[in-house]
Chains A and B, each alone.
Chain A
Amino acid sequence: MDIKITITDREGETHVVDAPTDIAMNLMEIVRSYELAPEGTIGICGGMAMCASCQCYIKSDTELPEMEMDEEAMLAEAFHVKENSRLGCQIPITEDLEGLVVELAPEE
């Protein structure tokens, strides 16, 4: 089943995209698959929470999985971090995320 996710890109343009829940994708990969940020500027480490190129701000009150140590540590060293910052690569797409609204953080 697909869910709808609203993503505002780094240019400020908003996109509503269908995100599949059945092939183990994460939010960073959704952004890449729709090419909402140029290749090489997002998901640089491949999804290991070791860069912060997929940082995004969560704009809806959707319940998200808790942050693990890796993500928390990376965000502690990332730039442009806000209260609602998360790493897209650490957010698996599940049915619970229906209606999620996010904004991509600026490129470092």
Chain B
Amino acid sequence: MIETDILIIGAGPTGLFTVFEAGLLKLKCHLIDGLPQPGGQLAELYPKKPIYDIPGYPEVLAGDLVDNLMEQIKPFEPGFTLGERAQDLEKLDDGTFIVTTDEGTKHHAKVVAIAGGLGSFEPRKPPISNLADYEKKGVSYMVKNPEDYRDQSVVIAGGGDSALDWSIYLADIASEVTLIHRRNEFRGALESVDRVKELKDLGKIKLITPAEVVGIEGESQLESLVIRKNNNPEEDFKIETDHFIPLFGLSPKLGPISKWGLEIEKNAIKVDNSLDYQTNVPGVYAIGDVNTYPGKLKLILCGFHEATMMCQSAYQRIFPDKRYVMKYTTVGGVTGFDGSKKEAPKAVVKAID
């Protein structure tokens, strides 16, 4: 069981900054995120794109903002459960919470802060009517263990980096790799596109373009795929395969959080914005893009504000009898849990002779 003061669900910019504000109050944080790296959308969707409305930064790349936030919160030693999705929320009699991930990792916390952005990133599934019937029976949406494909035939669909990279990787492991894409053009890194072409010329990857998978067949297990070439049903043909891996990127879904008994409006969690961004479940807060209230703006800078207000409220919830006044970092400095201390240099007093 992982123990912490504030459990933050979502390691995007709002979740990361929460660690800093909580740290100033000597509260420890742990973050859960379904993606394998921190940063949320900024890291997953647009790391190389500039952001222009972070106060004090005329321009900052999304990826750099994440790096800076990680640096800023380092002294507060946050814990991370990455690559796992928060699945269940349980409130104990003493008012604390247990959050369990889809992998079964349990977290015990005094306060839960949902900073889940647009939700957890789920694989985009192509609209093939019986696709779901073959999940775990030959169809998968990500490659977890490449060895599973050794000496078996694999069909990959998609035209982005992950489709290209996995085709290249599996070409050496699988008995046969077929890559199917709707266009002749791929939008991955140039070297990946070139490598796939080389492997195609070597006969290690079979390329079928422009084409898409329109049907799946098999008794109890995936056996063959129906391929449509040139968008022309008359050209439909079948290929036999052991595995089908559609790789069409990720898209965010609110997911299990929507079943936690929280008030939901417009695909977002309703919170009290007049006070502390608490949800209808006391002790559970929602901050950043995942919440809604009158006049809500989904901006990183608003998420930072919400995180700050939320931490003050969490402190009072955890220590109801303690008196506390907010202190400026310029006055009080920043004392990390790692023993580090940052503070403003003292003024120098010197007489003029």
Give the B-binding residues of A (Cβ under 8 A): 38-41, 44-46, 48, 50-51, 53, 73, 76-77, 79-81, 108
Highest count of chain A CB atoms <10 Å: which of B127, B185, B187, B268:
B187
Task: Tally A-B pairs: CB < 8 A.
Answer: 51
Q: Which residues of A contact B118 (CB under 8 A)?
A: 40, 44
Residues of chain B touching chain A, judged by Cβ–Cβ distance below 8 Å, are 41, 45-46, 49, 118, 124, 126-127, 158-160, 181-183, 185, 187, 248-249, 251-252, 254, 266-268, 298
Q: Is the CB of A76 within 8 A of B182?
A: yes
Complex interface: chain B residues within 8 A of A53 (CB):
251
Q: Say whether B267 contacts A38, CB under 8 Å.
A: yes
- Contact status B251-A51, CB under 8 Å: yes
Docked complex Cα distance between A45 and B266 (Å)? 16
How many angstroms between the C-alpha atoms of A19 and B182 in the bound complex? 34
Out of A39, A45, A46, A73, name the residue touching B267 (CB < 8 Å): A39
In this complex, the member of A41, A76, A108 whose beta carbon has the largest number of chain B beta carbons within 10 angstroms is A76
A41–B124 Cα gap in the complex (Å)? 14
Report whether over half of chain A's contact residues are helix, strand or loop; otherwise say mixed: loop
> Given contacts A40-B267, A41-B267, could you give 10 more A-B pairs where the C-beta distance is less than 8 Å?
A44-B252, A45-B46, A53-B251, A73-B185, A73-B187, A76-B185, A77-B158, A77-B159, A77-B249, A80-B127
Cβ A48 vs Cβ B46 within 8 A? yes
16 A/B residue pairs, CB under 8 Å, sorted by A? A38-B266, A38-B267, A39-B267, A40-B254, A40-B267, A40-B268, A50-B46, A73-B159, A76-B159, A76-B181, A76-B187, A77-B158, A79-B126, A79-B127, A79-B248, A108-B251
**How far apart are the CA atoms of A76 and B46 in the complex, in Å?**
19
